[in-house]
Chain A
Amino acid sequence: MAHNNNHTHLHGQALPKVLLLLPNPCFAQVEANNSHKFHFLKAWASPLPQDQFLETHAGSVQVLLSSSIGPPITAQILHLLPSLKLLVTISAGLDHLDLAECRARGVAIASASKIFAEDVADMAVGLLLDVMRNISASDRFVRDGFWVSKGDFALGSKIGGKRVGIVGLGNFGLEVAKRLEALGCNILYNSRKKKAFVSYPFFPDVCELAANSDVLVICCGLTAQTHHMINKKVLLALGREGVIVNVGRGAIIDEKEMVQCLVRGEIGGAGLDVFENEPHVPKELFALDNVVLSPHHAVLTPECFTALRELVAGNLEAFFSNKPLLSQVENN
């Protein structure tokens, strides 16, 4: 087993253990910066298969680091970590975690959604502007030499005055709302519950929201309830001039139906950073100029990574000093 020899404080006490199941560039940086404070237990570095490693070495581990590209944290894994009290995920999404099992076992969860919120909101606004103002389509047009040979590109659609329905008004949704308000949009939303301190009109039914919106921006997490929540009915309610932007998770939208609606002109356009079965993207979308496609890049900026490392380290320090976590998720 890979062994870091500095596992003890100056006073001879063992450093608190932090478990990692699979390697990840973010975790590597966190470890490099914090190896004097925590003992990073690396399951993949052991010759033992994961389950056996956990049984043998992780009985006293209180903290697990996870990412949405690491293994899903299932009930089976949690069962092998009887002392686990904290799960720190470097994602905003929680769909790779067995939340019910964490709740049952009293495992707190800290996520990275606050850090990602700005970058995700920027991406959502960028995709919306791109679709409505034909940015990628007309950039292609210019590079293909068509401005010279064919003349001007078709007119786009004004952003100001549009009704934007935000699905999920959490960290991401609020940042999106703030930006789109400055662009003159009227904000509406749907969320699990109406938000107390928010003056935007609330729609308890996402279909009603779609019927009253020119644009839908999907900012919520993927759960059993939100899976395929944006279905054919919702898309038809959004309508022929409507635009959908997804920076949540692909499976929130019934992708097959959405593709059909786009191909048939039943909705006006789409800006998509996420897909049901990444990296697979339905080929029918490649022929459409009113669609902008992004390979799940919403959070890939160096500034995000730095902030992420600091957040993880901060959460670990807080936990081990019995202080409140920096980014605890409400899991109820």
Chain B
Amino acid sequence: MDSIGVLMPVPMSPYLEQELEKRFNLLKLWTVPQKSQFLKDNSGSIRAVVGNAGNGADAELIETLPKLEIVASFSVGIDKVDLNKCREKGIRVTNTPDVLTDDVADLAIGLALAVLRRLCESDRYVRSGLWKKGDYKLTTKFTGKTVGILGLGRIGKAVAKRAEAFSCPISYHSRTEKPELKYKYYPSVVELASNCDILVVVCALTEETRHVINREVIDALGPKGVLINIGRGPHVDEPELVSALLEGRLGGAGLDVYENEPEVPEQLFELENVVLLPHVGSDTVQTDTAMADLVIGNLEAHFSNKPLLTPVV
């Protein structure tokens, strides 16, 4: 199989690279100075692309690779893969669902606790050497707060299960209501935001959900509300989010994703009611391995004409 060219646009996992190199001819695009020339030169042998959350396969790349058969994404969200183009050309697409569900859901809870209880701010305070006896600052209790979940898929349900252990009442908005779950459904995002303390964004990024968190929703969440984004940066109108936080119209935010990673609005750096993470939702040693194994599994299945493990297209 090592004459099969597999293109990786950016580094994403040393373990994955190592495993791909054992089995295929791995072409690391980021190491090449003349990228378009490189793609032209190798277009005859590239039969697979391994992308990630930030780098998939857009129409332009797909057009450049006439031998492309499969896009295996090292992520569960595949908003950076042009699915229509893939369908049109009969290109298969796989992602990495389930193996990262727990880690991402854990991070949502971790972000909520860090924002409400000011963990990062307190850690900074202690490290500054300024802690004086008797100094105290009230923070906000997490247990019992209403958690609103936007997108009640695998990860959304996992967030709900965890929040329930903190006695948090759960409400949600989803494309369809799920009456078998005992959570309160709201037919619109604004209504969800108006009726919860902590809004967790965890739906897929599509045309419909781009900027779903806009000024109206942010204002509905309000000066005591907290936004947790573990979905995609473009779910949130970022300039609106920044001004709401600076003006105190929103109580706080825990962000793992941004509109233009790795750029993070610097005006947020001064705020103590914000926690800023560098897209680490599924970044644990264990999950990195599990995701990589799934990518490899999908590629091996495809090139042996076996059923794909986790197909999207």
Contacts and interface: CB of A to CB of B under 8 A. Distances in A.
A143 B283 CA distance: 19
23 contacts: A118-B167, A126-B110, A126-B113, A130-B113, A130-B123, A133-B106, A133-B280, A136-B124, A138-B278, A143-B269, A147-B262, A152-B280, A157-B285, A179-B166, A181-B165, A183-B109, A184-B102, A293-B122, A293-B127, A295-B135, A297-B136, A303-B140, A303-B144
B9 to A, nearest CB: 15
Interface-central residue, A155, A184, A286, by most chain B CB under 10 Å: A155
B129 to A, nearest CB: 8
Contact of B287 (A123, A139, A158, A294): A158
A148 B263 contact: yes
Interface string B230-252: 00000000000000000000000
Nearest to B109: A129
Nearest to B262: A147
A45 B286 CA distance: 60
Interface string A37-81: 000000000000000000000000000000001000000000000
B4 interface: no
A142 B288 contact: no
Given A123-B117, A142-B278, A148-B262, 5 more contacts: A118-B166, A122-B142, A129-B114, A132-B284, A301-B140
Interface in A130-169: 130, 132-136, 138-143, 147-148, 151-153, 155-160
A126 B119 contact: yes
B143 interface: yes
A133 B127 contact: no
A21 to B, nearest CB: 17
A28 interface: no
Give the interface size class of chain B. Answer: 35 or more
A319 to B, nearest CB: 28
B141 A297 contact: no
Given A157-B285, A294-B126, A281 B269 contact: no
B278 A119 contact: no
A17 B190 CA distance: 53
B83 interface: no
Contact of B278 (A136, A153, A294, A297): A153
Given A129-B109, A179-B166, A278-B133, A297 B269 contact: no
A182 B165 contact: yes
Contact of A133 (B11, B107, B135): B107
Contacts of A1: none
A103 interface: no
Nearest to A157: B284
Given A119-B143, A158-B103, A152 B133 contact: no
A304 B135 contact: no
A279 B166 contact: no
Interface string B111-122: 101100111101
A183 B131 contact: no
A300 interface: yes
Contacts of A152: 278-280, 283
A155 B284 contact: yes
Contacts of A159: 102-103, 106
A182 B113 contact: no
B186 to A, nearest CB: 24
Interface in B246-266: 261-264
B164 interface: yes
A123 B101 CA distance: 23
A182 B287 contact: no
B276 A139 contact: yes
Interface string A203-221: 0000000000000000000
Nearest to A130: B119
B131 A279 contact: yes
B131 A182 contact: no
A127 B114 CA distance: 8
B134 interface: yes
A70 to B, nearest CB: 12
Contacts of A303: 140-141, 144
A183 B212 CA distance: 29
B141 A118 contact: yes
A296 to B, nearest CB: 8
Contact of A160 (B106, B122, B132, B144): B106
B38 interface: no
A12 interface: no
The 3 A-B residue pairs with the shortest CB-CB distance, nearest first, are A182-B165, A126-B113, A129-B110
B162 interface: yes
Interface string B19-37: 0000000000000000000
Nearest to A182: B165
